[in-house]
């Protein structure tokens, strides 16, 4: 994480999760504050529906990386995941206002909008680079569609209470053949999400590593595996699998067929997250994972 001072932002994109009144209130609060600055505001097309009237330019989310040098996302971590996949290629930095649950990515609280965003616009922030994953399907030696993921890629049986057989390779070496519900391949960013629920380790976001977490394996000896961040991971689905799928960030799903391969590697572009000065990953863990609690009264 690098500290920065002095950089100003001229054009700011504003994205908010539509359909939630609390998010809408915070979007309007962000707009009111930004309108008092010298910055030009661009609204995501869907977000513009929150306003009864406005005079700002609007554009689809994927296009915001063109004119904008900062994007403010109002919502939860899920909102940032979607924006990250769409804007990573543009390298435009993102700052999140948390209106969701845990909020490991969106760290600015609604009552800190003016103070924290003001500090960011004044150049008082840290830049946290996060790498993404890229997953692609290989079917009969042909690369098909794929998706990027900031948190994780999950290869699974596709139907609840159904297991599947598959083989895992890392950099061309066979790791194991397994029968289970599936497999989670997570970035350090995603280690506090689905991977954590499945028994994976918490990884500092600055690590250049991925973790492979089996989902309910039909064995007592299979454990999470941490590999280098530049590893090439291949999951070969058994031909007997009936309804296999893979998902990216639990938001984008792709159907698979028996015999398909899922290739997972580091995405060529990174996400630049901005945090106000004083942000601490470990403080987030203490507050959001309840590390600060004690047993008893001592």
For residue 92, pLDDT over 90 is answered with yes
Catalytic residue among 2, 25, 69, 77: 77
Give the pLDDT score at 297: 54
Regarding pTM above 0.85, the answer is: yes
The predicted model gives 172-180 an average pLDDT of 96
Q: Is the pLDDT of residue 231 over 80?
A: yes
Query: 100 pLDDT band (50/70/90 cuts)?
Result: confident
Answer whether 231's CB lies under 8 Å from 210's CB.
yes
pLDDT score for 161: 74
Contact of 78 with 56, CB cutoff 8 Å: no
Q: In the predicted model, what is the mean pLDDT of residues 209-223?
A: 93
Q: Which residue has the higher pLDDT, 250 or 161?
A: 250
Domains of the chain: 2-124+277-288 (3.40.50.10330), 132-268 (2.60.200.30)
- Residue-wise pLDDT for 260-282, tens only, equals 999 999 999 999 999 989 889 99
Question: Which band of pLDDT confidence, cut at 50, 70 and 90, is reported for residue 29?
Answer: very high
Mean pLDDT over 72-80 rounds to 94
To the query of whether residue 128 is one of the catalytic residues in this protein, the response is no
Q: Are 181 and 170 in contact (CB under 8 A)?
A: no
**CA-wise closest residue to 281 among 148, 130, 134:** 130
Does residue 6 have a pLDDT over 60? no
């Amino acid at each position: 994480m690098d500290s920065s001072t002095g950089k100003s932002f001229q054009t700011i994109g504003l994205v908010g999760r539509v359909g939630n009144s609390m998010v809408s209130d915070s979007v309007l609060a962000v707009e009111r504050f930004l309108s008092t600055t010298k910055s030009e505001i661009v609204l995501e097309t869907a977000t513009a529906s929150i306003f009864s009237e406005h005079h700002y330019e609007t554009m689809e989310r994927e296009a915001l990386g063109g004119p904008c040098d900062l994007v403010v996302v109002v919502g939860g971590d899920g909102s940032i995941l979607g924006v990250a996949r769409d804007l990573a290629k543009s390298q435009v930095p993102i700052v999140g206002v948390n209106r969701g649950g845990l909020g490991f990515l969106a760290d600015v609280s609604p009552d800190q909008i003016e103070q924290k965003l003001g500090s960011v616009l004044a150049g008082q922030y840290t830049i946290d680079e996060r790498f993404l994953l890229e997953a692609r399907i290989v079917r009969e030696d042909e690369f098909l569609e794929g998706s990027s993921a900031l948190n994780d890629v999950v290869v699974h049986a596709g139907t609840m209470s159904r297991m599947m057989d598959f083989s895992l390779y890392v950099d061309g070496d066979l790791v194991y053949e397994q029968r289970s519900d599936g497999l989670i391949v997570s970035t350090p960013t995603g280690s506090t999400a689905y991977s954590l629920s499945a028994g994976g380790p918490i990884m500092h976001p600055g690590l250049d590593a991925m973790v492979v977490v089996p989902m309910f394996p039909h064995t007592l000896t299979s454990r999470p595996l941490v590999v280098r961040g530049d590893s090439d991971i291949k999951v070969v689905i058994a031909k007997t699998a009936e309804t296999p799928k893979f998902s990216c960030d639990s938001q984008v799903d792709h159907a698979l067929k028996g015999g398909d391969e899922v290739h997972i590697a580091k995405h060529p572009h990174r996400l630049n997250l901005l945090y106000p000065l004083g942000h601490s990953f470990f403080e987030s863990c203490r507050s959001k994972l309840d590390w600060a609690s004690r047993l008893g009264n001592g």
